Structure 1
């Protein structure tokens, strides 16, 4: 899924007439995406007021035009209409495996692709509310679970998660981290190794996919979250269908390898002094490891909810507890920073 602003210089787009109109479910999803990712008046429009019409379609994507109704005034400089593209391409590829995240060449490519993703300009709200706003939402939903789900609610108390989130909120407020457009879920399953890349260059061999959680967020979360994913192997074929290999959390050397490739992409023609570069690297080590704490809490809460909602056979409660335990272990280790 991707949203794009319709600029003033673009020709007016005329919806294509089709024998089958856009479904009510599709309209509802379009409204949810626009409301979540766009600021201003998009937060005020009701589902039945949003104007959604198909523009074009193909084998790999569908394109929809989403417009604010005339009677709802703009709040700021938000776009009045956007293009919503829904992708469905089939690629000859496979997802990476957990151990491949440690490969230096692949890690460098992931760092560069993440940097490029971060500096895309998207017509979404740039307020970094997604991280703690979503965690607060997860907490409220967990508390509303029925009595049969008491063990899930008890995890909030067992790990004093509301207290930890309050601590984390204050802790990260004192941790400088640029707000950029983040993927928020760069784990091995969301990185494709292409079978037939357009060139043999390493950058063309990997592709990031699955942008469900993408939003403007703190850079440290995206990188720290990726580092946490080095630990987890989701290909394990026995209960709970994952392995937590804490020894795989990237070493300082591996983190610096990633950070240096990331910085090389965003610095481009800027060459800091050796002292300046060393300081940048030191600051980013602190930044990403502190935000890795938030990754553990975020996905732990998510997993509690999935245990109540998902039909997939997976040890969601076991995974949640693994993430919470990972949080406390990492929290203890951050003293040297």
Structure 2
């Protein structure tokens, strides 16, 4: 299996599945009002790829969808296991961590709250434990932890963009009773809120 980050091909796949136009005037109008055009999203994707492809985050085999519902904690046995490996593939280490942190805020439209996004102290502690296991060392250094923390903040953009585009595909094709376009708005609005600050760091 090629050790290439799956996420770029996956976003391109989702972009190619977006209809132009959408199947109803109502859907098309809502898409246009919220997102402009598919061309605008493609331009944003290319810019994001150009900047984030420079990352030094290692490519690892990752789950890529670690929302809290996919993490199973067995209190009696003191074990943690994961479920739902649909998106498991090679990807940037920092993407998998960033995506996990992004999912702390909730999934239900009425329940999403970015005040739940883990603070810097929590992320540092989490990354410290992760690196101790990943590198098989007792005490990761602060520069090691800070490097991963910075990469995670950058990859949070990629997580928001991926699931925003995914949700637009579902908006057109899914029969599930869920407000996919509203979820896309939430994820892509968050992307745009964070984008300029992070792009400035990367440029």
Task: Tell me which residue corresponds to 1:189.
Answer: 69
CA separation of 1:336 and 1:216: change in aligned 2, threshold 3 A? closer
Task: Tell me which residue corresponds to 1:127.
Answer: 4
| Deviations, residues 53-75 of structure 1 (Å, cap 9, x unaligned) | xxxxxxxxxxxxxxxxxxxxxxx
Task: Tell me which residue corresponds to 2:94.
Answer: 220
Task: Tell me which residue corresponds to 1:260.
Answer: 128
Which is worse superposed, 147-156 or 208-217? 147-156
Specify the SS of the correspondent of 1:244.
coil
**TM-superposed deviation, 1:257:** 1.2
CA distance, structure 1, for counterparts of residue 192 and residue 138 of structure 2: 38
Task: Tell me which residue corresponds to 2:36.
Answer: 157
**TM-superposed deviation, 1:223:** 0.6
Structure 1 residues 169-184: aligned runs within 5 Å: 169-184=49-64
TM-score, normalised relative to structure 1: 0.54
CA distance, structure 2, for counterparts of residue 218 and residue 299 of structure 1: 16
- More strand per residue: 1
Q: Which runs of 5+ in 1 are unaligned?
A: 1-123, 235-240
TM-score, normalised relative to structure 2: 0.86
Structure 1 residues 96-107: aligned runs within 5 Å: none
Q: Between Structure 1 and Structure 2, how many residues are aligned?
A: 197
| Deviations, residues 157-183 of structure 1 (Å, cap 9, x unaligned) | 269321211111111122211010010
CA distance, structure 1, for counterparts of residue 193 and residue 22 of structure 2: 31
Specify the SS of the correspondent of 1:313.
coil
CA distance, structure 2, for counterparts of residue 207 and residue 306 of structure 1: 28
Structure 1 residues 7-26: aligned runs within 5 Å: none
CA distance, structure 2, for counterparts of residue 318 and residue 133 of structure 1: 24
Specify the SS of the correspondent of 1:217.
strand
Q: Is the 8 Å Cα contact of residues 183 and 222 (structure 1) preserved in structure 2?
A: yes
CA distance, structure 2, for counterparts of residue 242 and residue 296 of structure 1: 18
Specify the SS of the correspondent of 1:230.
helix
Task: Tell me which residue corresponds to 1:69.
Answer: none
Q: Which runs of 5+ in 2 are unaligned?
A: none
**Which structure has more RCO (C-alpha within 8 Å, separation ≥ 6)?**
2
Specify the SS of the correspondent of 2:144.
helix
**2:143 paired with 1:279:** yes
- More helix per residue: 2
Specify the SS of the correspondent of 1:165.
helix
CA distance, structure 1, for counterparts of residue 22 and residue 41 of structure 2: 19
